[in-house]
Structure 1
């Protein structure tokens, strides 16, 4: 664990996000943002993995994150996303969606625009639970069951799906330019196409049996039909939105609520999950022949066979490892990324070989050499 450094910041951390890096730069990310919750005064903060030496969890010298700037945030930070290198969007428990402007030298963060009470009930505000950005578009969802589309350079809301859900929508991701996928508190995935005038979902998928709340969702960066979700029971579900309306595979990942799931953006055979149980797991979908190679790398792993059905008529070379049908050839490797269990790990983000996560224990953890 000598690649991991920890920093205690005296605030419960609800969200952590790396600032995007230029694809042409070939650099590792150095700047990230955090949002806090359940504090007397919540903040959005900008950090750098500075060059002043700090101590890792094993006592070795490492780069400790340094606070560059911050800004007060009304309400808990429910979600946080970079719109681009200079703008950051937050979702608030007050129902607001805000855009923060980051100076190019990262030394100042200022509030640029707020959509007040974007999410609300008849007599009160409703928390905005999640946002997703694809510049200039922003989409937010909330406890009020609304799906809202914005453009970052326009003060007025672009589109509102007023009664998108009768239950809380917990998370949202873009599938394609005009399509988003939401997950809710009764175990459903709903696909929305903004080209359609109708306020009805284009597709509904759901967990069978108990209507277990789903808390997080992410799509495969290269194959938009592959989606991962996690929920209250800690199960990792892989979905193929083209094939049927139920999960393609389910894996017992965590012993409590899963708060976030993320495919690695450039190496999507790798996936990361974090949970209320205090763990952060690194998953890799591999062929059976690759398992011994991974173990030789020194991974402290448990191997879980992937429960899946074969895709009839598919070209094997075109099928993602996440959808490989033969469980003897396709396996999930799970590695614990933190040295010991902590309080709830609320958020994670991974970019290149760098991972950052935040906890209710008021700790940031940075891993600068993720094996991907």
Structure 2
């Protein structure tokens, strides 16, 4: 089933599904988009509800409907739902904004703005990314700051002033008090807010070339497994407990990788999107060992693999992403979009639904992702 495209005359920088209540066994129906590089940027809320119209084979193919939107000062650099009715944006103006979404999703209003949260001494610094774990949120920026907030407090909770001398591109929560950031010189840094010190608890880095890392995501069940993507299109899998370099390097894209996401409930599936105009669905499957894999041409993809089985863990616990050469695992990649030319800037996946946004001013929604 091909994705449904919606052209919206704005370059899309971010797409995010609104969270669904775990109690309701349903597919997500509402998503948010943020725009960039337009005269007036916006945060918009869309619905992909089925309104009963289906094609001959029973597939729903209605395009997304706009529910509401709000002007956004500066480019939307990142967008994250804090909960079902609050949405946080990161702006190129340096601001971090919380928007309130009405329960019927028909209106989006400003709840709070931290103006110039990220700044240089004489100018604004873009806020590059935010991550939420309600009620807390963390922002990072080009100014090398890491800032912790509580959604219901106007005062900032904590600022790590010189967390980085280079641009921090992305951030994710590892645990309740720990976040992981990636920067423009190929480093991952772990920060523990329980520590008074402004030094990272741990630093991991790419060996050799200092390739900028643009995105990071952690495995939903095993916090020590992390995926990153960078300037060279490489997908890196890391085990933050072991060593300070990536566990494996996989040639994923031919240009910058903008986002990487593990599937939240089936993490043997992973998704990446890139400046090269592609969106890939990665799946680790059993039934073939690494040597067969390499004979099947995968040596063009898997560049290096430390392949060290983890001590003291039985096989059922070791994630397929870390199973290494000894395992009967293989990695398969599927293109999720019709052939593209312009950058795919953002993707999000929830249950069987995937949404992505492009510089071609299109949003694509896939309602039947095979996970």
Q: Normalising by the residue count of structure 1, what TM-score does the alignment of the two structures yield?
A: 0.93
Could you tell me whether the CA contact under 8 Å between 1:305 and 1:327 is conserved in 2? Answer: no
Structure-to-structure mapping, 1:17-56, within 5 angstroms: 17-51=16-50
Deviation of 1:300 after TM superposition, in Å, equals 18
Task: Return the alpha-carbon distance in structure 2 between the equivalents of residues 34 and 55 of structure 1.
Answer: 25
Could you tell me whether the CA contact under 8 Å between 1:53 and 1:62 is conserved in 2? Answer: no
Secondary structure class of the residue paired with 2:154: coil
Q: Where do 5+ consecutive residues of structure 2 fail to align?
A: none
Summarize deviations over 1:296-347 as a string: whole Å, max 9, x none: 9999999999663322333212100000022662211100000212310000
Task: Return the alpha-carbon distance in structure 1 between the equivalents of residues 235 and 106 of structure 2.
Answer: 39
Aligned partner of 1:188 in structure 2 is 187
Summarize deviations over 1:147-200 as a string: whole Å, max 9, x none: 000000000000000000000000000000000000000000000000000000
Task: Return the alpha-carbon distance in structure 2 between the equivalents of residues 30 and 298 of structure 1.
Answer: 39
Are the structure 2 counterparts of residues 58 and 245 from structure 1 closer, same or farther at C-alpha, using a change threshold of 3 Å? farther
Are the structure 2 counterparts of residues 232 and 47 from structure 1 closer, same or farther at C-alpha, using a change threshold of 3 Å? same
Deviation of 1:370 after TM superposition, in Å, equals 0.3
1:327 matched to 2:326: yes
Task: Return the alpha-carbon distance in structure 2 between the equivalents of residues 296 and 25 of structure 1.
Answer: 45
Q: How many residues align?
A: 369
Deviation of 1:144 after TM superposition, in Å, equals 0.1
1:105 matched to 2:104: yes
Are the structure 2 counterparts of residues 293 and 366 from structure 1 closer, same or farther at C-alpha, using a change threshold of 3 Å? farther
Could you tell me whether the CA contact under 8 Å between 1:302 and 1:334 is conserved in 2? Answer: no
Are the structure 2 counterparts of residues 39 and 263 from structure 1 closer, same or farther at C-alpha, using a change threshold of 3 Å? same
CA RMSD of aligned residues (A): 3.4
Task: Return the alpha-carbon distance in structure 1 between the equivalents of residues 294 and 312 of structure 2.
Answer: 33
Summarize deviations over 1:76-129 as a string: whole Å, max 9, x none: 000000000000000000000000000000000001100000000010000000
Deviation of 1:59 after TM superposition, in Å, equals 13
Summarize deviations over 1:216-264 as a string: whole Å, max 9, x none: 0000000000000000000000000000000000000000000000000
Summarize deviations over 1:38-88 as a string: whole Å, max 9, x none: 000000000000445889999986121000000000000000000000000
Are the structure 2 counterparts of residues 172 and 34 from structure 1 closer, same or farther at C-alpha, using a change threshold of 3 Å? same
Could you tell me whether the CA contact under 8 Å between 2:290 and 2:328 is conserved in 1? Answer: no
Task: Return the alpha-carbon distance in structure 1 between the equivalents of residues 342 and 134 of structure 2.
Answer: 34
Secondary structure class of the residue paired with 1:292: helix
Could you tell me whether the CA contact under 8 Å between 2:289 and 2:327 is conserved in 1? Answer: no
Summarize deviations over 1:1-58 as a string: whole Å, max 9, x none: 44xxx00000000000000000010010000000000000000000000445889999
Are the structure 2 counterparts of residues 292 and 107 from structure 1 closer, same or farther at C-alpha, using a change threshold of 3 Å? farther
Are the structure 2 counterparts of residues 285 and 251 from structure 1 closer, same or farther at C-alpha, using a change threshold of 3 Å? same
Task: Return the alpha-carbon distance in structure 2 between the equivalents of residues 57 and 115 of structure 1.
Answer: 50
Are the structure 2 counterparts of residues 210 and 134 from structure 1 closer, same or farther at C-alpha, using a change threshold of 3 Å? same
Q: Normalising by the residue count of structure 2, what TM-score does the alignment of the two structures yield?
A: 0.93
Could you tell me whether the CA contact under 8 Å between 1:169 and 1:182 is conserved in 2? Answer: yes
Task: Return the alpha-carbon distance in structure 2 between the equivalents of residues 213 and 296 of structure 1.
Answer: 31
Could you tell me whether the CA contact under 8 Å between 2:290 and 2:325 is conserved in 1? Answer: no
Aligned partner of 2:225 in structure 1 is 226
Secondary structure class of the residue paired with 1:100: strand
Task: Return the alpha-carbon distance in structure 2 between the equivalents of residues 93 and 20 of structure 1.
Answer: 25
